[in-house]
Amino acid sequence: MHIIVELLALYLWHIHSIMPFAYGRMRGGMLCFIFNNFHSRNFVRLFLEIFLFFDYDRDSITEDVEVAMDIQHLKYFVEVVRQESFTRAAAQLFVTQPMLTRSIKQLEESLNVLLIERTSKSFHLTDAGRILYERAQEFLMQYEAIFQTMADVRSVKTGEVRLSIPGVLLDMYFPELFASFHRQYPGIDISLVEEGSKLTAASVGLGKADLGLVMLPVEEPSRFESHLLVSDVCQLVVSREHPFAQMPGVHIRELRGETILTFSETATLHDTFIQMCGEQGFAPRIAYKSLMPGFSFKMVAMQQCIALLPLPLILHGMCDKLVTVPLEPRIVWDIAIIRRRQGYHSFAAAQLFDHIRAHFAERKPLMEKAGPS
């Protein structure tokens, strides 16, 4: 600790001697950094003593400290509400539970309101707590956006985009798209997370991903800015020996008793299919849940099941042993790109969002030509 303080003192002496004006402007940001990264009050006190040693205005420093502490209290409060648990929030924030409890208590005292009512068995927000939670989320999002904006200004055309996407869409559409994007923006990295549509929407909504590719519909669509990329239908895939192979179309009620391969629960269309079958008075026998083309087609070719799959996926890997059959009523397969409606979008994320939209707009005539009329 003493070594750290001595290094800080030496650094501050250097700044004080050579760049007092620059130092004054960066002081507030430095204090925020200290409070965000060092949770020991003793350390902060030592740090402040160094400031005061150089005769900086005590009142101004105190104001900076109070702002930094208020922001930290808000961050802690928001995480506690998200987790609905002091224990889980403390683990997520890498702080002790007593420290987190003290922070919330100090926030309540500074606002002179009760924010959280909790017992050993329950956790409830007060009216004031609910209002603060909504406002604090917006404020912290903007607060983080300020620093991200400055980072973008310093490093134009560089950065990282977190993209959440169902794995099946990667193989179908994205190798060519990523190649063209990196030719235009070689300094932007794309961090991919493969997960189903429901998890993708959740990741984007929580800010864990910048962008997401989803099968519509998504829960709480008002949270997102979305752009439709692909709109098609789902069809049955059967072996040539199956009775459905000779039929011009199949009604969904005729799937009663069939062994079916289709979407997993992480895809929103899984719920749509279950609901449509329920409206016909039966629960479908879904023996396999996958959208991986190779596995799906092999299982159908071996007459182990029939498959209900998106038509673009079928056309992507169809073989001669299989036949597609239209299903009635139609199940629409819509793919959209989404991002949070509120909050900051980095330069890198904005460029990838626009690039994906443009890429699919250019491909749309080709996809329509490839599909059946």
pLDDT in tens, 22-44: 334 344 444 444 444 444 444 44
Backbone angles phi, psi at 279, to 5 degrees: -65, -20
| More confident site: 49 or 343 | 343
Kindly state whether residues 30 and 146 are assigned to the same domain. Answer: yes
End-to-end CA distance of the chain: 73
Residue 351: give the domain boundaries: 156-228+336-370
- For residue 240, what is the DSSP state? T
- How far apart CA 101 and CA 104 sit, in angstroms, is 5
Kindly state whether residues 25 and 133 are assigned to the same domain. Answer: yes
What crossing angle do the helices spanning 20-37 and 2-18 adopt, rounded to 10°? 150
Q: Are 196 and 209 in contact (CB under 8 A)?
A: no
Which range (11-20, 240-249, 304-313, 352-361) has the least confidence? 11-20
Last residue of a domain, one of 130, 152, 174: 152
Kindly state whether residues 270 and 358 are assigned to the same domain. Answer: no
Kindly state whether residues 310 and 341 are assigned to the same domain. Answer: no
Whether the upstream peptide bond of residue 329 has omega within 30° of 0, thus cis, is yes
Predicted TM-score (pTM) of the model is 0.58
pLDDT (average), residues 77-104: 89
Last residue of a domain, one of 152, 181, 205: 152
* Average pLDDT of every residue of the chain: 79
Q: Quick one: which H or E segment has residue 238?
A: strand 224-239
Kindly state whether residues 197 and 247 are assigned to the same domain. Answer: no
pLDDT digits (tens, 9 = 90+) for 258-306: 999 988 887 778 888 999 999 999 999 999 988 777 888 999 999 999 9
What's at 247, amino acid-wise?
M
Total number of domains in the chain? 3
Q: What was the pLDDT predicted at 68?
A: 52
pLDDT digits (tens, 9 = 90+) for 315-373: 877 778 899 999 999 999 999 999 999 878 888 899 999 999 999 998 765 445 444 43
Kindly state whether residues 135 and 255 are assigned to the same domain. Answer: no
Kindly state whether residues 343 and 195 are assigned to the same domain. Answer: yes
Kindly state whether residues 160 and 289 are assigned to the same domain. Answer: no
Q: What CATH code is carried by the domain that includes residue 57? A: 1.10.10.10
Q: What was the pLDDT predicted at 24?
A: 40
| More confident site: 267 or 127 | 127
pLDDT digits (tens, 9 = 90+) for 203-232: 999 889 999 999 888 888 889 999 999 999
Kindly state whether residues 20 and 127 are assigned to the same domain. Answer: yes
Q: What was the pLDDT predicted at 39?
A: 41
Strand ranges, E, within 55-180: 116-118, 123-125, 159-165
